[in-house]
Structure 1
Amino acid sequence: MEENMSTKMDDSFLFTPELDPSTDMPGPSEQSSGTQQPSVNVPLPSNNTTATAFRHGLSPSMKFVGKSWTESTTDPTTENSAENGQSSKITLYFLQSSRSIRIAWLLEELKLVYNLEYFDREPSMAAPVSFKQACGGSMGKAPVLVDGDLVIEESGAITQYLIATYDNLNYLLPSPDPLYVKTLLFMHAAEGTFLLHGLVPFYVKRADPDTPEATLEALKIDTGKDLDWLEAELKTSGTRYLVGDTVTAADTMMGFSVQFIMEFDLYPAQEEGVERWQYVIKWLGNIECSKPYQRAVKKTGHTLRPK
C-alpha cells in the first residue's frame, strides 16, 4: 500500500477513465423530464488540483452595490422545472473565502434559480457589517440562505434543507440505505472533524505568525490522520466521488474542507517525492472539473485567497 501511495502521479491520474470529466451530471429535474440543460463554457482547471482551480474573477453580469455584488442567476444554465418545486425567492448571502461555496455549488447541482448577494471580506478578513445587516441571520455568519420567509444558517443545515425541499429524487442524498449513512458520515465529518482540525493551526498561525514550526507541525497531526482516512475510503471505493460516480451532498460539504486544508498547508510536512494523498487529489480534480461547481465558482468569484 505504501508503494502505491508514494508513486508519483502523472496527469492521467487526475480523472477516472470511466467518466469524461467535462460531462455535466443530470440534475433532479433532468432525470424526471429527460431534457438536457445547456452548458456554460468555463475553462477547465489546470492539472495542479490542490485547490488552485477556482481563482476566477466575478461574473461580468454582477453589479457592485456598496461593498457587495448582486446577481440574479436566471440564465438558462440554472433554470429548473416547476416539477422540482422551483422557487424564485431563494437568495444566497455569499461571503468571499467562506463555506458559502458549498451552498452555491449545491444550488447549481439542483439547478435552482436563485439570487446571489455577494460580500467581500474586510482587509482584516472579517465579514463586513453590511453582510450581517443584510442577511437577516441571527448569527451573522456565512452562508445564509433565504427561501421565502425562511432564513437558514449553517452550511450543514442549509444543505439538509435544500435536499429535503428540492431533491425529490434523492439525487444528492441517497434514500435510506448504506449509501445514505455513508453520505451523512462525510457531510458531518466535513465540519466536525476535517475543518475543526484544520482551523486549529490556521488560527494559531494567523494569531502569531512567529509560531515555531515544530508547534504548527504538532497541531497538524490530526489533519494528516483525517486525510489518511479519506485516502483509504477513496482508494477502497474506487469511485469518482465520495459516494459513487455522481456528486452527492458528501462532496459539496467535504470539498471546501479539504481544499481549505490543502490551500493553506494545514497538513503535516511530507517526505520529498512522496505523494501521500493521491486519491484525495484525484477527487479534488474531479470536483473542480464538475460543471455545476465551475458555474458556482464563476458566478460567485469564489477564492480562498482574496486579492
Structure 2
Amino acid sequence: MKKLLTPLAALTGIAAMPAFAQENLRIDGLESIGKPVPGETGFQPAVTELAVSLQSLDWLILIIITAITLFVTALIGWVIIRYNKKRNPTAATFTHNTPVEIAWTIVPIIILVFIGAFSLPVLFRQQEIPQADITIKAIGNQWYWTHEYVDEGFAFDSYMIGAPATLTAEEEDAGAVAHVMSDVMAKKLEDAGYSRDEFLLATDTAVVIPVNKTIVVQVTGSDVIHAWTIPSFGVKQDAVPGRLAELWFKAEREGTYFGQCSELCGQAHAYMPITVKVVSEEAYAEWLGKAKEEYAGIKSDVQVASN
C-alpha cells in the first residue's frame, strides 16, 4: 500500500512522520553541489548532459548578443560624431539605401538561423524522453511535493524543513516559527544533515536516485500550476492539474542538489523546495529497501555488507 498523504492527513499526522522517516532513511556524507551561493552570479554546476548543453548554448548566445550590442553602439557613436550638425550642416535628402536595407534584413536572418542550428538540437534532446531506469512521479501541492516511485509502489511527501507541518510542539515551545531562521531551526537543519545556509532549500524527505542512471520524472499538479525545477540538472517542467508531463536527466556526479517550485502558486510559493540526493548504486539499493519498508510496508531483501 502506498503512503500518499492527503491534506487532511497532513493536518493531523504529518508533523511527526517525516522526522521519523528522515531518521531511518537519512543519507549523510554527500557534497552539497547544486545550490545558490550568496554573492555569486552565473549557473550552478552542470552535472547532466542537458545542463551542459543549455549552459553552452547560453554562452554562445551571450557572445553573439554582446557582439551585436558592441557593433550597434559603435555604429551609433560613429553616426553621432560623423553626422552631427557641426560637422554636417547640410543634411542629406535621400530616404532609401537599398544595399543597407538588404544587409539589415539578411544578416539578422543568418544570425537567427545560426542560433537555431544550435538551440533546436538542445530542445529536441530535452523533449525526446529516453527509456527510464527509474520513473518518479512528482505531484505539486500547495505547498509541498509528493514523490512517487512508480515502479516500486511507494510515495512520500516532501516539506521544506521549517514549514508548519515539520514543526513539533516542543520546537514551537522553544521559539521556532515557521519559515523563520532561528537557533532552533538551525539545530533542526543540522539534525537532518543540512547546514544553516541550506535553510529554505532543504526538505524533510529527499528524492534519492543512483548516479549515471536515466531518471524520468512525470510531473503534474493537484491544485494549481507548480513547476519542478533542478538548475544543476537543466530541467524545469510545469506541473499542471489534469495533465501529465515528463522530463528526464542522468546525473553524473554524486551529491545533494536543490531546486524550487518555479511557478507562482500562492501564498507559500517560496517555501516548497525540492531536494535530490544522487548516490552510488549500492547506497541507492540500501535506501530503496528501507524506503519500501518505511512507506509501503514491503520487507526488504537487500543485504548490506558490514565492515
Structure with the bigger RCO (C-alpha within 8 Å, sep 6+) is 1
Same fold (TM over 0.5): no
Q: TM-score, normalised by structure 1?
A: 0.24
Structure with greater proportional strand content = 2
Task: Answer with 1 or 2: which has the greater Rg.
Answer: 2
Answer 1 or 2: which has greater helix percent.
1
